[in-house]
Amino acid sequence: MATERDASRTTTGKVRAHQTQNERLTFEKSSPGKKGYKLPPLDVPAVNTAELLGETFRTTDGLLPELSEIEIIRHFTRLSTWNYAIDLGMYPLGSCTMKYNPRVNEFVSRIEGLAEAHPYRPDSLAQGIMEVIDLLQRCLIEITGMDTITLQPAAGAHGEFTGILLARAWHESNGNARKKIIIPDSAHGTNPATAAICGYQVENLKSNADGGIDLDALERQVDEETAALMLTNPSTIGVFENQIHKIADILHAKGALLYMDGANMNALVGKVRPGDFGVDVMHLNLHKTFSTPHGGGGPGSGPVACKKFLEPFLPTPVLVRTAGKEGTREKGKEGELHWDYDRPQSVGRVRAFYGNTGMFIRALAYILANGPDGLRQTTEDAVLNANYIRKKLEDLYELPYKTPSMHEVVFSDKRQQAKGVKTGDIAKRLIDYGFHPYTVSFPLIVPGALMIEPTESESVEELDLFIAAMRSIAKEVDEHPELVKTAPHSTRVSRLDEVGAARKPVLRWKPE
């Protein structure tokens, strides 16, 4: 069995056995009196801290760890070797677009005048960073084919929330907020949550045999109480809605809006613009499509672009360029940018200040570095990579929908289930081959889904390693299913008690 388990480390050339050192917590390694620093002599008069703080003065250090500098360095370096990262290999997470973050983006975002631009800086002293924001807005408007945009939302789900607030405000301005939002069964889970939190009833729409929108079912469901359809295009199975114009027409005929979840814009940029095929409002994920850092709790960025009729409702403030005097109020020098708060129909502020500015800088650096032709090429490469994986694996893994794939491909574990192996088992075994798992069991319309998105970042050599690993696992399922069902075997910790961890989490360290 050991030989079989080690095979994963040699057949693909991706990984092999490697020492991974144990590491205790800093609290456990602590020794009284050790220090990793030395402060300079005090250059201000000393004060009696206990006297100043009174009852709030601490008499102990709160069990803070005491370690030398080299112990601290080795501690965090050893911990870093346990992590998987985009700098180590591909993330085949479908629906998440975990692409590489170019270092030039990081360099530009750290330019002193940009990185240290304070949000309370007066407009007259913030023209540089405001020009950056303005240029990014104009780029995203051109890419999406929309008329206006706000960069304020801090993430994709936050963008959804803002977009549906715009739709609600517009309906209310027409005298009827309406009652329901239609959401396809293939939607991201945040879509129904967004609709509900904005006060709408959620109506599910079943997909057709191709995994797309059933036009007849949609036409039956849309009525004068429908506020919008929340549609992901391409859908979560990687399929482009080729009847999107008809979908828009059905909605607009009843006064409803077409909201597009832009999570999968990685398949569209430079090729087609949502504003041109009938979308009224949409969000973008800068941390997906435009390569700003993704995950780890943020910061993210989820701009919302919309058509002109929704502009009065955008969150305040809105970035505008001064044309000179407006009535009796001096708005600043002609051509200067400033924040406009005087917007009586606005849905209000949805984020402190104007969003995560560091993400704006990174996204703009990515857009300008690629240019129009480069952005189009990234889209084409993302679609090519997904279809390359599809073609190389479709003989071993079930393909539930034969519709052409865009930027991601969704298989199912139907064939492997005959041996008692499920998608989660395959994903865990993939770890032994040196890859981060794909997205497991999503979308829900595909039982036992294996959702794979390689992005444009990956070379054919890396894709071939991934394909070889997946083919090897399929062979293991046929010959040694228990090997897969008990994976991973090469990690520091094998299968966890996930239910126990969720029900009885250990959230703080306590000394023995």
In terms of pLDDT, which residue wins out, 294 or 396? 396
If we measure between CA atoms, which residue out of 455, 456, 421 comes closest to residue 440?
421
Q: What is the dihedral of CA 454, 104, 263, 247, to 10 degrees?
A: -100
Cα–Cα distance, 56 to 402 (Å, whole number): 67
Mean pLDDT of the chain: 92
Alpha helices by DSSP H, listed for 304-422, are: 357-393, 414-417
What pLDDT, on a 0 to 100 scale, did the predictor assign at position 37? 86
- Residues 111-164: pLDDT tens digits? 999 999 898 999 999 999 999 999 999 999 999 999 999 999 999 999 999 999
Q: Is 398 within 8 Å of 414 (Cβ atoms)? A: yes
The average pLDDT across 300-305 equals 95
What pLDDT, on a 0 to 100 scale, did the predictor assign at position 298? 65
Q: Is the pLDDT of residue 82 over 90?
A: no
Q: Is 452 within 8 Å of 408 (Cβ atoms)? A: yes
What pLDDT, on a 0 to 100 scale, did the predictor assign at position 10? 46
The torsion region of residue 295 among left (phi > 0), alpha (psi -120 to 50) and beta comes to: left
- Residues 472-503: pLDDT tens digits? 999 999 999 999 999 999 888 888 888 999 99
Q: Is 198 within 8 Å of 192 (Cβ atoms)? A: no
Tokens, residue 43: 């250059």
User: 3-state class of 398 per DSSP?
Assistant: strand
The average pLDDT across 34-60 equals 91
Q: Is the pLDDT of residue 459 over 80?
A: yes
Range with the poorest average pLDDT among 326-335, 418-427, 439-448: 326-335
The average pLDDT across 86-113 equals 92
DSSP state of 39: P
Range with the poorest average pLDDT among 319-323, 436-440, 457-461: 319-323
What pLDDT, on a 0 to 100 scale, did the predictor assign at position 322? 87
pLDDT band with cut points at 50, 70 and 90 for residue 448: very high
pTM value surpassing 0.85: yes
- Residues 5-35: pLDDT tens digits? 454 444 447 888 777 788 889 988 999 889 8
pLDDT band with cut points at 50, 70 and 90 for residue 191: very high
Of all residues in the chain, the percent with pLDDT exceeding 90 is 78
Range with the poorest average pLDDT among 8-12, 86-90, 262-266, 330-334: 8-12
What pLDDT, on a 0 to 100 scale, did the predictor assign at position 14? 82
pLDDT band with cut points at 50, 70 and 90 for residue 64: confident
Which DSSP helix (H) or strand (E) runs through 318? strand 318-321
What pLDDT, on a 0 to 100 scale, did the predictor assign at position 325? 54
What pLDDT, on a 0 to 100 scale, did the predictor assign at position 511? 74
Which residues, at least 6 apart from 21, have a Cβ–Cβ distance to it below 8 Å? 78, 81
- Residues 234-250: pLDDT tens digits? 999 999 999 999 999 99
pLDDT band with cut points at 50, 70 and 90 for residue 328: very low
Residue with tokens 């079912």: 217
Which residues, at least 6 apart from 452, have a Cβ–Cβ distance to it below 8 Å? 92, 94, 386, 389, 408, 409, 410, 411, 438, 439
The average pLDDT across 98-109 equals 93
What pLDDT, on a 0 to 100 scale, did the predictor assign at position 461? 96
Alpha helices by DSSP H, listed for 314-356, are: none
Q: Is the pLDDT of residue 77 over 60?
A: yes
CA distances to 420, 438, 448, 506 from 496, in Å = 19, 18, 20, 14
